[in-house]
Amino acid sequence: MNVILVEFILYCLIILGIGYYYSKLSKTQSDFLLGGKKLPGWALAFSERATGESAWLLLGFTGFVFASGLSGVWVAVGIALGIIFSWLFLAKKFMEETDKYNALTLPDYLAKRFGQKAKLIRWLAGTLIAGFLMFYVGAQMAGAGKMFLITFDLPPTVGIVIATVIIILIAFGGGFISVVWTDMIQSVMMVITLVVLPILALFYINANDLSISQSLTTAGSSFDSWFGGLTGFSLGVLFFSNFAWFFGFLGGQPQLSARFMALKNEKEVRQGTVVAIIWTVLAYGGAFMIGITAIAMYEQGSFADVETILPTMILQLTPNWIAGLLLAGILAAIITTANSKLIVVTGSVSEDIIHKALGVNLTEKQLLWLSRFSVLVFGIIGMVIALVSESLLYLVVSWAWAGVGCTLSPAILMTFFWKKYSSAGVIATILAGIISTIIWISTPLEEMMTSRFTTFFIAAIFGIVFSLLIPDQHEETGVGEKAV
């Protein structure tokens, strides 16, 4: 255990050192929020993937597959297709639109694109992002608590506090630039963990004469079925509930879209696309196999919390020095996702609400320090959420995914590809997404059909209807007006 502790400390020191070094490069608000569009495409791709996947993938999804069996694959399929779609069809568009409108955040882009209702759009989009993503940050910190409990037998509270300190220190100094470069290292560590562990598990299963197929059969009546043993309407509900993660990847996740906005040319887009797709296939294939092999290794009901399966497997299957490196991959996922979301929340509050919506005039230096102060405040809020919440990672992230991603995705798609989309339509899309998500997750409706599916289509329908009812009065006045 001493070896693991030493590796953890060294890892934390390395990423903190990287964050400090790149903090010197963040001299403007643009640098802090978007890296000044100076970062290479391959680094942004690693960062986008590490940001998109988190403690949710390593802890939440592996536990979900362990508890559901083969039907859990549709979550991976939906997410993989969403990632591939976004890189192939949206990344370049985001880059071009960011250059055209000189936008720093997703709400900033929507406000400048639909200038007639810019202030209201900033308020709504900024509040939406800050509100829902704070729970996402809290979920990452809760994941840190689980990791420290399993690895060092420390109280989860201590793990949450330690992770919070590291997260705030990295984001506070260099903002987006620090986050992207630490993301790159963490992204590599994550995919190594997800590729190596199922291979070791398969060797263990073979050496101990265990059978995955037999274990799936004995684990439960639906575990050995790709469709959960369901037919008809029930099958449709299962499929859409799992596959529906796809809809949140269509441009509406601001922490992911920021990586697209930071791309500087088409060559970097192509480079990033290749890296992101390869990473996705390896990571999700590995995570799914970890859950499946765990079914053969452990009996159902043997875990008080199924989201601790991955660290348990690492400690059982690897020597201490390897375990330390692989467990650092989990910490990497937590840190990188929480960092990115802190930067997004910070941008929504400091740039979109305080600077633009409220019209507070600040110098570049004052904006930079406002953003850093926001990182500190929202980091502490995220820690408090993690300390008082008992929600599962999978559920908390699912709700945040619906509230933000599945609300803003239809807004982005219609902005990019439908000329009749209006500022009233944007406002209706966001309001409908917020209200429907809150209603859905607060009632039994969530058990019937996931809000990740319903929010997307409800928000889209309201956006279409109000765009047709209240079209914009187009004026050819350049940036800030809706293009004809």
The CATH number of residue 335's host domain is 1.20.1730.10
Which of 331, 285, 291 is closest to 151 using CA atoms?
Answer: 331
User: Cβ(307)–Cβ(319) under 8 Å?
Assistant: no
Is there a domain that residue 260 lies in?
yes
So what's the pLDDT on residue 233?
A: 54
Name the domain count of the chain.
1
Would 120 be classed as within a structural domain? yes
Contacts of 471 (CB under 8 A, 6+ apart): 420, 422, 424
- Give domain status of residue 478, yes or no: no
DSSP 150-215: HHH---HHHHHHHHHHHHHHHHHHHHHHHHHHHHHHHHHHHHHHHHHHHHHHHHHHHHTT--HHHH
Which has the closest alpha carbon to 329: 226, 172, 194?
A: 194
Q: Which two tokens stand for residue 375?
A: 């990182």
> Residue for token digits 């996931």?
450
Between CA 279 and CA 405 the distance in angstroms is 21
Residue 446 lies in a domain: yes
Q: What is the pLDDT of residue 27?
A: 61
pLDDT recorded at residue 482: 41
- Residue 478 corresponds to which tokens in the numbers above? 């350049």
108-to-96, 137, 251, 289, 403 alpha-carbon distances in Å: 15, 22, 14, 40, 19
**Rg of the chain over all Cα atoms, to the nearest angstrom:** 22
Reference 278, options 113, 45, 120; nearest CA is 45
Per-residue DSSP letter, 348: I
Residue 298: domain span? 2-469
| Structure token digits, residue 332 | 């990497």
Residues of the chain with pLDDT under 70: 1-2, 19, 22-36, 54-55, 150, 170-175, 228-242, 329, 332-333, 336, 364, 389-398, 474-484
Q: How many CB atoms lie within 10 A of CB 278?
A: 13
pLDDT of residue 32: 61
Nearest CA among 446, 435, 345 for reference residue 395? 446
- pLDDT per position as a tens digit, 337-368: 777 777 777 777 777 778 777 777 777 677 77
First to last CA, the chain: 64
The residue length of the chain stands at 484
Q: What is the pLDDT of residue 279?
A: 95
In a domain, residue 23? The reply is yes
- Exposed / middle / buried, residue 365 (Cβ in 10 Å: 0-12, 13-18, 19+): exposed
The per-residue pLDDT for 35 is: 61
Please state the pTM of the whole predicted model. 0.79
